[in-house]
Amino acid sequence: MNDTAKLFYDIDEPFAAGFFEDENGSVAARFCRAYRRLFENYPMPEYRRENPYYPYGELHNSDWAVLPTYYLQYYVREKKLKGKSPEAAEIFSQFDREHGNFLDADGCKEVLRYASHIDGWNHSALNYKRILAEGIDRYEERVSTMADEDLRNALLDVILGIRCFHRRAVEYLESVNAEQRLISALKKVPFSPADTAYEALVAVNFMLCLDGGDNLGYVDGWFPRYWKGEDLSQEIRYLLKNAEYSGCWSLTIGPEYGGHTVMWLEAAKGMARPMIELRTSKDMPKEIWDAAVKSIFDGNSNPSFYNEEAIQSRLAERFPDAPREDIYQFAGMGCTETSLSGMTFAGGIDQNLNVLKVFDEIMREKLSECSSFDEFYRAFTKRLRMAQDNLVRYVNAFYKKRASSYFAPIRTLFTDDCIDSGKGFFQGGARYTYSIPSDSGIPNTVDSLLAVEDLVFSRKLYTPEEFITALDNGAPELLSALRGCPSYGVGDEHADALAHDLTKGFYGYYREAKLDIGDGFLPTCHQFVRHIDEGLRIGNTPDGRKAGTPVADSIGAVNGKAVLGPTAMMKSAAAFDQSMVYSIPVLNLSITEKYDPAVLRSLIEGYFDMGGTQVQITCADRETLLKAKESPEDYRDLIVRVGGFSDYFYCLSDELKDAVIARTLF
């Protein structure tokens, strides 16, 4: 053992030590050895007799400073590591600069011109369907035949670690006289195929721990084939509790509707995560509709509703050569990033383009030079394309930098077709690899364009210079005039036509953009904290928004403007050209308990008939939200939809609480 690895072992950092055992080894070899040491040395958690699974949640050891994480593979608690050994902290800091700093790639400065931050997240689910059907033993056989000797040995190293962790888990359970049903199941799975629904759940729980608890993916892709009608409500609820404990984001059910669908919906009651995404087809049974709507009115913010027919047809158009059975494995990972379960690397959100920031910049630079609204609109869309060009160049640069310096052991093993292609998860090995960019502020931009068109070019109430000066000064007469301008969110035909034209060109750009590692770009539009951060960088805008306040929430109307009710608001949202927003445009809907359940169903179905893709709903009145902000200890069970994810209201920042409270309530 070399001195560097020994240093980390001596301070009880075996996961970190694994990165340094062969400092001249390949990136794959070093990352895989680290994960092997993680599984060999992770302290077994105490068995909880009431829990039908083992272990629980992500592998997080409070005594370690360097720990695994599902999307960045490792993270460092720098202060803790420095407290153990300043020398070790400096060594790992250098390693991180070489391997973890891939976001600092060519084009980063240009991209940050229109984005408040870049995070490089990626969400995925392992191929649970295949793991349950074949078992890890079969994966090991496949790895053993790989032509690339280095990658083969690296992945076999990880499997050795998984075997050790699995053996230690079984031995521990036997030593504490755990439930025999659990011991028997865990002796079999996940190395051998599952035969029963309980064995499948045990295996999925175990694999979720290995992967860090990111996503459960498309549950209907594997659960119904093992379920024989038995009542597994308690077992499913504990799986979801374990998943929530690890921060698991989401799962997708439907359209394989049945008693199990209701079981998953009911099991999730009272939990913020994992979020349930319900693939909603035109023939979804009334039993499922009733259970889903009841869950909403019970205050669970689950499920969100997904337009099954629209999603399937759009993905088939986007991936014309993909087998139908692949497209059918759709799930919205993370907040709601499109993935084909077990076969996908989807970078998301790779970067968020602040469309309102682009508008604000071009308004100040070019408005006075334009003789017509059409000329100004062309100048704006030209600058918008430039921003998208910069985004594409940057994403390509950081993808290549990450591929050369980073490796994902567990996802490489259990994502098709990494083994068959002989490439890692970050190296283009997945069957489907694409980037997911998002955007913010399009509704604000539409309203701002409408105001400029009306006040500057149509009625000529202001010169461009007067308009911008009055805007910056918050002149009362301008604010009054802005309130009379056409706006998005009320079903106004002119406003909706402008929204359609803008989004058709904007999202159509990504349809043709190329990605050097992968299949291109599948854009989304969903906001959670970004719409707050992005607003901080922009002054007063012509949509009536005040400086520093959030931009619009995803594709919903600007707060306070959906004054003609939810039907008109959804008509405007459907005017977005959603046909190429392949990674799901989010629409938040806030209702009170007084809303009619039958009307809610009709509203969702009507939106889907117009081409809408997804609806997510919070059921809580404003008075309750305000009380919960003032007295959070009295409302610890209050769950709200934020912007692609749910959370307990008391856990949100004050800024996010205010953003939820400010939504139009129906």
Domain residue ranges in the chain? 3-33+55-106, 220-341+597-666, 344-586
Query: Is residue 322 packed enough to be buried (19+ CB in 10 Å), middle (13-18) or exposed (0-12)?
Result: middle
Question: Quick one: pLDDT band at residue 334, thresholds 50, 70, 90?
Answer: confident
pTM score, whole prediction? 0.94
| Separation CA 104–CA 440 (nearest Å) | 22
| Range with the poorest average pLDDT among 114-118, 383-387, 411-415, 561-565 | 114-118
Answer whether residue 202 shows pLDDT above 80: yes
- Read off the DSSP letter of residue 45: P
So what's the pLDDT on residue 48? 95
Tell me what the pLDDT averaged over the chain comes to.
94
| Separation CA 614–CA 607 (nearest Å) | 9
So what's the pLDDT on residue 639? 77
* Terminal-to-terminal C-alpha distance of the chain: 65
Partner residues linked to 638 by β-bridges: none
State both tokens at 126: 């392992």
Query: Is residue 433 packed enough to be buried (19+ CB in 10 Å), middle (13-18) or exposed (0-12)?
Result: buried
Partner residues linked to 525 by β-bridges: 585
State both tokens at 148: 């690339």
Express as a percent the part of the chain with pLDDT over 90. 83
Question: Quick one: pLDDT band at residue 643, thresholds 50, 70, 90?
Answer: low
With contact defined as beta carbons under 8 Å apart, do 555 and 576 qualify? Answer: yes
Express as a percent the part of the chain with pLDDT over 70. 99
State both tokens at 589: 């809907």
With contact defined as beta carbons under 8 Å apart, do 186 and 165 qualify? Answer: no
Can you tell me the mean pLDDT for 284-307? 94
| Range with the poorest average pLDDT among 78-82, 553-557, 589-593 | 589-593
So what's the pLDDT on residue 117? 75
Answer whether residue 528 shows pLDDT above 80: no
So what's the pLDDT on residue 635? 77
Residue range 222-267, pLDDT digits in tens: 999 999 999 999 999 999 999 998 889 999 999 999 999 999 999 9
Can you tell me the mean pLDDT for 619-639? 83
So what's the pLDDT on residue 645? 67
So what's the pLDDT on residue 644? 62
Alpha helices in 11-148 (DSSP H): 14-18, 27-41, 78-84, 86-99, 108-112, 128-134, 136-144
So what's the pLDDT on residue 662? 76
| Separation CA 214–CA 212 (nearest Å) | 6
Residue range 430-446, pLDDT digits in tens: 999 999 999 999 999 99
| Separation CA 319–CA 606 (nearest Å) | 27
Is the Cα torsion angle 35, 41, 42, 48 positive or negative in sign?
A: positive
Residue range 133-173, pLDDT digits in tens: 999 999 999 999 999 999 999 999 999 999 999 999 999 99
- Read off the DSSP letter of residue 338: E
Residue range 306-318, pLDDT digits in tens: 999 999 999 999 9
HEC-encoded secondary structure of 242-300: HHHHCCCCEEEECCCCCHHHHHHHHHCCCCCCCEEEEEECCCCCHHHHHHHHHHHHCCC
Answer whether residue 382 shows pLDDT above 80: yes
Of 385, 500, 326, nearest to 318 (Cα)?
326
- At 202, the amino acid letter reads V
Of 523, 590, 598, nearest to 557 (Cα)?
590
With contact defined as beta carbons under 8 Å apart, do 246 and 213 qualify? Answer: yes
Of 36, 251, 271, nearest to 126 (Cα)?
251
Partner residues linked to 632 by β-bridges: none
655 alpha-carbon distance from chain centroid? 20
Answer whether residue 607 shows pLDDT above 90: yes
So what's the pLDDT on residue 239? 97
| Separation CA 95–CA 139 (nearest Å) | 30
Q: Three-class SS of residue 196?
A: coil
